[in-house]
């Protein structure tokens, strides 16, 4: 008998529960028959009147077979024996029938719930699954002792007829469905050869043949194919590259055929409609649930969103184990074993089980922070020429809509450009080349919050491609509009993404001064760092760090209140590292050091980071304190060397810090020692006199971001 594993390659929006593959345990003979009657009745009631778009003959055939089993089981249940007098062979067959019925339910549910395009692509594979089930029916009935079980003549004849039909049955593939599948790939070949298929033929295929009748249905098909890309396994056809081409082609058809109909965008009030959660699902979601232990990260003890496997074979949530490694640990948190390497391998099997559990219990599962699974899957395979050509054709339609469409149409176009620019430098390149940036700039000042949010995020995604940075900066008024969104944006996400856009643009050294000089830019970043969400603070502090690496921005940052915000940020774990790095750069200049000294909590905050910060945070903190002594004069030096526990922290850092941290700690320790010795030598003249008398050596005060440790590999979020 085939096991439940034959369906492991079938991936749906909502996977079956694990219990669906397990036979009932410790059931008596009577309970077994009663259970089978319940299962078969439920199956027939669910699918006997269900209309299947594809696999019509196979589904009808399977349902008819199930109806014969229903007749058999109801007779056994009503006969009075209820299984008590059944032979052992018959009982064994009934237990196997339990599994067969559940596998039938899973396959029928798959055909009823899956997207049309995916069913079309899997036409041969799914037909094979129906044939496998038919063979199981034949084998089961071959073993079932029909002559030994007390059955009525009609029931026996029905069972024997089913056996004969099952023995004769062959693999059936609907040639009409397969012709559509072949036509689907022919359209893709046309894009591959640089030719855009005729719109009438595309309309005939999608609307008349597949009955995809509106933009909402088409978008659902696109999302279903994208989900297959996320869950793709190497042995499943079609490949990721082909699927990406089919997604691109279907997205093009969505706008070509259905235009820019209002779907989830409410143009009147600027809100995006979100799907409503059913009452039962909402009730479950509002109820306290115990998360299975295997689904929780051993470090954070929270439900894992992106489980990964490390070299020891243990699984952790990506964000937690990445932070563990960033802090300098080289061992497995759970086993204590030394890590052979720091590569993280996605545990997709566990991820799928977690998604399945969350779906079953109505628990929302947020995407991973750095790069969600979909983005990872999309980036794992190079786009085909067909995908590029289809995306290019889509981009032209979107930009035409931005230029001449209605307000709601422009809102939808901005959202689609945002999504299209989410992956692939090719997409980002031809979107900008086609002229998207000026139209997106115009939308930044719209009163529609959804349009503004989508347009600024689209610019963020476009800016990741280096050549687009100059296009954005050269566009008249574009930088000012981005800053205006940062200052006065309608939504929190819009303001945060504006900050992230400035961070992306400031990666080019020549633009750092231009951005800092833009009216209100630094003030808004400082305000976001002080009052923003955790993600907003992160966007703001990374942008401020980039700006602080330009020497001419120091005065501007002090005047705008950035130093105050950076000092306050030393107390926030998520941004303290970058804040300390930025301060270390600012205090290299005397007026920068003077501004930091005026902040009462500055030295205490840096000392606190030396005590409890990450390895990089400790490194940046000791670097900032050293530069403060060098540039801040006697008052700053006295403030630093008199800080409580400094000597002990320096000693600890000399033994446990990173290489750069040990070097900075050694230099600061020498300053501390000179001041202590001179204080004894000069009696009451104080630390300032001591430091001044021992600082005859000159030093280069040139400015370099390499003197602090901030992970400049921070990727701009793709949203």
Residue 308 DSSP label: E
- Tens digits of per-residue pLDDT, 123-161? 999 999 999 999 999 999 998 888 888 788 888 888 889
Q: How far apart (Å, rounded) are the C-alpha atoms in residues 285 and 300?
A: 22
Q: Are 587 and 631 in contact (CB under 8 A)?
A: yes
Exposure pattern of 677-686 as b/e (b: 16+ CB <10 Å)? ebbeeeeeee
In this prediction, residue 677 carries a pLDDT of: 65
Confidence of residue 384 (pLDDT cuts 50, 70, 90): confident
Q: How far apart (Å, rounded) are the C-alpha atoms in residues 179 and 250?
A: 18
Q: What whole-number percentage of the chain has pLDDT above 70?
A: 81
Choose among 17, 190, 199, 1: nearest CA to 95: 1
Token couple for 438: 């000026």
In this prediction, residue 268 carries a pLDDT of: 44
Query: Over 80: is that where the pLDDT of 76 sits?
Result: yes
Q: How far apart (Å, rounded) are the C-alpha atoms in residues 191 and 204?
A: 17
Token couple for 532: 């923003």
**Which 3 state secondary structure label does DSSP give 536?**
helix
Q: Collect all residues with Cβ–Cβ distance below 8 Å to 344 and sequence separation of at least 6.
A: 308, 309, 310, 318, 321, 322
The whole-model pTM stands at 0.72
Token couple for 623: 């670097």
Q: Which pairing describes strands 315-317 and 307-309: parallel, antiparallel, or unpaired?
A: antiparallel
Query: Over 60: is that where the pLDDT of 694 sits?
Result: no
- Tens digits of per-residue pLDDT, 485-529? 999 999 999 999 999 999 999 988 899 999 999 999 999 999 999
Token couple for 207: 């609307």
Give the distance, in angstroms, between the CA of residue 317 and the centroid of all CA atoms in the same chain: 13
Identify whether 238 is preceded by a cis peptide bond (ω within 30 of 0).
yes
- Comparison of pLDDT for 376 and 619, the residue scoring more: 619
In this prediction, residue 366 carries a pLDDT of: 58
In this prediction, residue 49 carries a pLDDT of: 87
Choose among 448, 420, 453, 423: nearest CA to 436: 420
- Tens digits of per-residue pLDDT, 182-211? 999 999 999 999 899 999 999 999 999 999
In this prediction, residue 376 carries a pLDDT of: 44
Q: How far apart (Å, rounded) are the C-alpha atoms in residues 648 and 610?
A: 10
- The secondary structure of the chain in percent helix, strand, coil, rounded to multiples of 5, reads 65, 0, 30
Q: Which of 162-166, 222-226, 367-371, 633-637 has the weakest average pLDDT?
A: 367-371
Angle at 51 between CA 47 and CA 54, to 5 degrees: 110
Choose among 162, 48, 21: nearest CA to 108: 48
Sheet with 315-317, edge to edge strand ranges? 315-317, 307-309, 345-346
Name the one residue in this structure whose structure tokens are 């009657």. 37
Q: How far apart (Å, rounded) are the C-alpha atoms in residues 38 and 40?
A: 6
Report, as an integer, the average pLDDT of 265-280: 42
In this prediction, residue 17 carries a pLDDT of: 39
- Tens digits of per-residue pLDDT, 414-471? 999 998 888 778 889 999 999 999 999 999 999 999 999 999 999 999 999 889 999 9
Confidence of residue 281 (pLDDT cuts 50, 70, 90): very low
In this prediction, residue 346 carries a pLDDT of: 84
Query: Over 60: is that where the pLDDT of 676 sits?
Result: yes
In this prediction, residue 5 carries a pLDDT of: 35
Q: Which of 260-274, 277-291, 588-602 has the weakest average pLDDT?
A: 277-291
Q: How far apart (Å, rounded) are the C-alpha atoms in residues 610 and 613?
A: 6
The size of the chain, in residues, is 719
- Tens digits of per-residue pLDDT, 520-564? 999 999 999 999 888 889 999 999 999 998 888 888 999 999 999
Q: What sections of 405-465 are H helices per DSSP? A: 407-420, 425-433, 436-443, 449-463
Q: Collect all residues with Cβ–Cβ distance below 8 Å to 16 and sequence separation of at least 6.
A: 7, 106, 109
- Comparison of pLDDT for 473 and 643, the residue scoring more: 473
């Amino acid at each position: 008998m085939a096991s439940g594993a034959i369906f492991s390659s079938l991936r749906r929006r909502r996977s079956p529960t694990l219990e669906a593959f397990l036979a009932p345990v410790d059931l008596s003979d009577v309970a077994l028959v009663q259970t089978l009657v319940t299962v078969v009745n439920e199956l027939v009631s669910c699918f006997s009147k269900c209309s299947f778009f594809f696999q019509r003959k196979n589904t009808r055939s399977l349902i008819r077979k199930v109806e014969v089993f229903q007749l058999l089981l109801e007779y056994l249940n009503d006969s009075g024996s209820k299984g008590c007098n059944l032979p052992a062979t018959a009982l064994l067959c009934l237990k196997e029938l339990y599994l067969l019925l559940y596998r039938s339910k899973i396959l029928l549910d798959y055909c009823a719930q899956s997207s049309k395009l995916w069913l079309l692509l899997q036409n041969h594979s799914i037909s094979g699954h129906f044939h496998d089930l038919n063979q199981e029916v034949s084998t089961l009935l071959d073993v079932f002792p029909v002559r030994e079980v007390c059955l009525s003549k009609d029931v026996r004849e029905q069972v024997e007829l089913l056996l004969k039909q099952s023995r004769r049955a062959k693999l059936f593939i609907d040639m009409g469905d397969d012709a559509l599948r072949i036509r689907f790939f022919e359209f893709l070949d046309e894009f591959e050869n640089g030719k855009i298929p005729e719109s009438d033929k595309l309309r005939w295929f999608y609307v008349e043949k597949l009955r995809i009748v509106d933009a909402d249905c088409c978008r659902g098909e696109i999302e279903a194919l994208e989900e297959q890309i996320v869950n793709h396994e190497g042995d499943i056809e079609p490949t990721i590259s082909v699927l990406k081409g089919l997604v691109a082609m279907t997205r093009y058809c969505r706008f070509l055929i259905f235009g820019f109909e209002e779907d989830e965008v409410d143009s009147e009030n600027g809100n995006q409609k979100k799907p409503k959660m059913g009452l039962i699902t909402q009730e479950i979601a509002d109820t306290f649930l115990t998360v299975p232990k295997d689904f929780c990260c051993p470090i954070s003890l929270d439900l894992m969103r992106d489980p990964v496997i490390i070299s020891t074979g243990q699984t952790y949530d990506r964000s937690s184990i990445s932070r563990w490694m960033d802090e300098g640990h080289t061992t497995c948190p759970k086993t204590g074993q030394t890590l052979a390497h720091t590569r993280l391998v996605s545990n997709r099997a566990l991820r799928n089980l977690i998604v399945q559990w969350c779906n079953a219990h109505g628990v929302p599962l947020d995407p991973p922070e750095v790069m969600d699974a979909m983005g990872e899957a999309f980036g794992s395979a190079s786009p085909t020429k067909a995908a590029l050509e289809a995306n290019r054709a889509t981009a032209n339609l979107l930009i035409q809509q931005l230029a001449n469409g209605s307000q709601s149409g422009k809102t939808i176009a901005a959202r689609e450009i945002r999504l299209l620019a989410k992956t692939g430098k090719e997409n980002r390149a031809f979107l900008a080349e086609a002229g998207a940036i000026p139209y997106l700039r115009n939308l930044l000042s719209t009163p529609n919050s959804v349009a503004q949010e989508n347009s600024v995020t689209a610019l963020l995604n476009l800016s990741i491609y280096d050549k687009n940075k100059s296009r954005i900066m050269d566009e008249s008024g574009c930088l000012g509009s981005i800053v205006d969104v940062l200052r006065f944006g309608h939504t929190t996400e819009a303001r945060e993404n504006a900050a992230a856009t400035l961070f992306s643009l400031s990666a080019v050294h020549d633009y750092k001064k231009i951005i800092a000089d833009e009216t209100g830019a630094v003030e808004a970043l400082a305000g976001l760092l002080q009052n923003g969400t955790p993600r907003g603070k992160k966007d703001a502090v990374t942008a401020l760090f980039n700006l602080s690496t330009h020497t001419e921005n120091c005065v501007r940052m002090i005047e705008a209140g950035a130093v105050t915000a950076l000092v306050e940020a030393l107390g926030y774990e998520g941004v303290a590292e970058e804040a300390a790095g930025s301060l270390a750069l600012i205090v290299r200049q005397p007026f920068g050091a003077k501004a930091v000294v005026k902040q009462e909590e500055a030295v205490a905050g840096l000392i606190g980071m030396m005590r409890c910060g990450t390895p990089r945070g400790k490194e940046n903190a000791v670097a900032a304190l050293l530069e403060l002594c060098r540039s801040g004069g006697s008052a700053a030096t006295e403030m630093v060397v008199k800080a409580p526990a400094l000597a002990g922290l320096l000693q600890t850092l000399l033994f446990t810090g990173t290489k750069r941290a040990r070097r900075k700690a050694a230099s600061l320790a020498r300053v501390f020692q000179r001041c202590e010795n001179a204080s004894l030598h000069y009696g009451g003249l104080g630390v300032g006199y001591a430091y001044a008398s021992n600082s005859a050596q000159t030093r280069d005060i040139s400015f370099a971001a390499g003197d602090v440790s901030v992970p400049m590999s921070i990727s701009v979020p793709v949203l």
